[in-house]
């Protein structure tokens, strides 16, 4: 049965888009091709900022899973100008294939954690680069004030601005364990404020946090379904060397998923999620040299191929167990 036949809800105006480019979920690649008319790549930038969870404002040891790179282990060299960071990555990426458009992704640490004048300078430099089609800014919801909203709103009138919020979980007990440092209400308020100003919101979640059951994780998906978000990253919990999470793992305080367990959970999440939410990530992008567990996660292509196979076998697709009435 073709996905378009199986799909029960009329959420897209373009009937072609119900095929999601032959994948059983609303992939980022597909969304970008639909929106920009061609394949679009990401360049990961480093604005040289820190994080309140590392500089002592909230804490000094960061979120329990966060490596020294501040979730930006693949971001460019912060000593280079933004233009040079973009150009150097374009040079590498376009050497392999013809690419004309890029998302400028400010990834490392908390990318709105600086005076607004500095943010304006670096974001404007990125958005004015002729190859940049959109700006994506990774940050914390407690680092978004009125001045930042006004800046992002102005930038969003020039090119699309996406704001990526690291939520990880809706459950406060887990949030305390991972030392996230802000309550769920802060996230919810930030999403509302961003949406009122027209920015697109992408939410980072982690699957497999210690102490969380499958139901806890699906509750997070259901909560996000009820919010006005445009994208999600479903990140497998990675235990990285040098983190406090690694210490707990080595003490045997929790276990990581087997590949089969993770794929089953991931499919459950996709089935629960609204089909309108774009899936930006489904595994993880942790640096291989720091990865302690699960080691199977480093074979990303293999994991994705197996996911597609399992979804076909289960006749599964994103939104299979979602109903529009769940959306507020």
* Least gap, CB of 140 to ligand SF4 (angstroms): 5
- Helix residue spans in the chain (DSSP H): 3-6, 28-36, 82-94, 116-127, 146-156, 172-178, 184-196, 214-225, 244-250, 259-272, 300-313
* Contact flags string 278-317 toward ligand SF4, x per CB under 6 A: ----------------------------------------
| 43 scored as a contact of ligand SF4 (CB under 6 A) | no
Determine the interface stretch with ligand SF4 among 31-39, 58-66, 89-97, 250-258 (rule: CB under 6 A).
58-66
Q: Which is nearer to ligand SF4, 71 or 85 (CB)?
A: 71
Distance CA 218, CA 186 (A): 21
Using an 8 Å Cβ cutoff, are 18 and 3 in contact?
A: yes
Determine the interface stretch with ligand SF4 among 25-33, 48-56, 149-157, 207-215 (rule: CB under 6 A).
48-56
Which of 47, 62, 208, 294 touches ligand SF4 by CB under 6 A?
62
Count, residues near ligand SF4 per rule CB under 6 A: 12
Determine the interface stretch with ligand SF4 among 46-54, 118-126, 148-156, 297-305 (rule: CB under 6 A).
46-54
Determine the interface stretch with ligand SF4 among 49-57, 219-227, 257-265, 302-310 (rule: CB under 6 A).
49-57
Sheet holding 40-45, edge to edge: 40-45, 101-106, 132-139, 161-168, 200-207, 231-236, 278-281
* Least gap, CB of 181 to ligand SF4 (angstroms): 7
Please state the separation of Cα 94 from the chain's center in Å: 24
Using an 8 Å Cβ cutoff, are 206 and 240 in contact?
A: no
- Cβ neighbours for 3, distance < 8 A, ≥ 6 positions apart: 18, 19, 20, 22, 24, 317
- Which phi and psi (to 5°) does residue 66 adopt? -80, 130
How many other CB atoms are there within 10 angstroms of residue 95's CB atom?
8
| 53 scored as a contact of ligand SF4 (CB under 6 A) | yes
Which three-class secondary structure state does DSSP give residue 271? helix
| 272 scored as a contact of ligand SF4 (CB under 6 A) | no
* Least gap, CB of 175 to ligand SF4 (angstroms): 11
| 141 scored as a contact of ligand SF4 (CB under 6 A) | no
Q: Which is nearer to ligand SF4, 175 or 263 (CB)?
A: 175
DSSP of 161-220: EEEEEEEE-S-HHHHHHHT--S-HHHHHHHHHHHHHTT-EEEEEEEES-TT--HHHHHHH
Q: Which is nearer to ligand SF4, 127 or 167 (CB)?
A: 167
Distance CA 244, CA 250 (A): 10
Written as six digits, the tokens of 302 are 């293999």
* Least gap, CB of 143 to ligand SF4 (angstroms): 9
Using an 8 Å Cβ cutoff, are 89 and 76 in contact?
A: yes
| 166 scored as a contact of ligand SF4 (CB under 6 A) | yes
| 103 scored as a contact of ligand SF4 (CB under 6 A) | no
* Least gap, CB of 188 to ligand SF4 (angstroms): 17
| 42 scored as a contact of ligand SF4 (CB under 6 A) | no
Ranges within 104-123 binding ligand SF4 (CB under 6 A): 109-110
What residue ranges bind ligand SF4 (CB under 6 A)?
Answer: 51, 53-54, 62-63, 66, 70-71, 109-110, 140, 166
């Amino acid at each position: 049965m073709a996905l378009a036949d199986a799909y029960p809800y009329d959420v897209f105006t373009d009937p072609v888009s119900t095929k999601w480019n032959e994948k059983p979920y609303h992939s980022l690649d597909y969304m970008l091709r639909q929106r920009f008319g061609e394949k679009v790549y990401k360049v990961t930038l480093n604005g040289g900022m820190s994080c309140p969870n590392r500089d002592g404002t909230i804490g000094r040891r960061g979120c329990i899973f966060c490596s020294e790179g501040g979730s930006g282990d693949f971001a460019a060299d912060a000593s280079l100008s933004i233009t040079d960071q973009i150009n150097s990555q374009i040079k590498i990426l376009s050497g392999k294939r013809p690419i004309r458009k890029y998302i400028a992704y400010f990834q490392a640490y908390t990318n709105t954690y600086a005076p607004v004048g500095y943010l304006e300078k670096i974001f404007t430099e990125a958005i004015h680069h002729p190859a940049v089609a959109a700006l994506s800014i990774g940050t914390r919801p407690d680092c978004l004030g009125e001045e930042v909203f006004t800046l992002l709103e102005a930038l969003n009138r020039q090119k699309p601005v996406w704001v990526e919020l690291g939520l990880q979980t809706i459950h406060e007990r887990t949030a305390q364990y991972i030392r996230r440092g802000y309550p769920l209400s802060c996230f919810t308020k930030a999403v509302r404020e961003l949406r009122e100003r027209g920015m697109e919101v992408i939410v980072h979640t982690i699957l497999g946090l210690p102490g969380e059951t499958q139901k806890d994780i699906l509750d997070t998906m259901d909560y996000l379904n009820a919010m006005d978000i445009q994208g999600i990253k479903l990140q497998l919990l990675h235990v990285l060397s040098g983190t406090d999470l690694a210490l707990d793992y080595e003490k045997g305080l929790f276990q990581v998923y087997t590949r089969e367990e993770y794929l089953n959970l991931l499919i459950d999440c996709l089935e629960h999620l609204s089909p309108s939410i774009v899936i930006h990530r489904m595994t993880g992008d942790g640096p291989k040299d720091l990865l302690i567990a699960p080691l199977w996660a480093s074979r990303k292509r293999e994991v994705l191929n197996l996911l597609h196979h399992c979804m076909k076998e289960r006749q599964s697709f994103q939104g299979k167990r979602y109903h529009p009435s769940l959306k507020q």
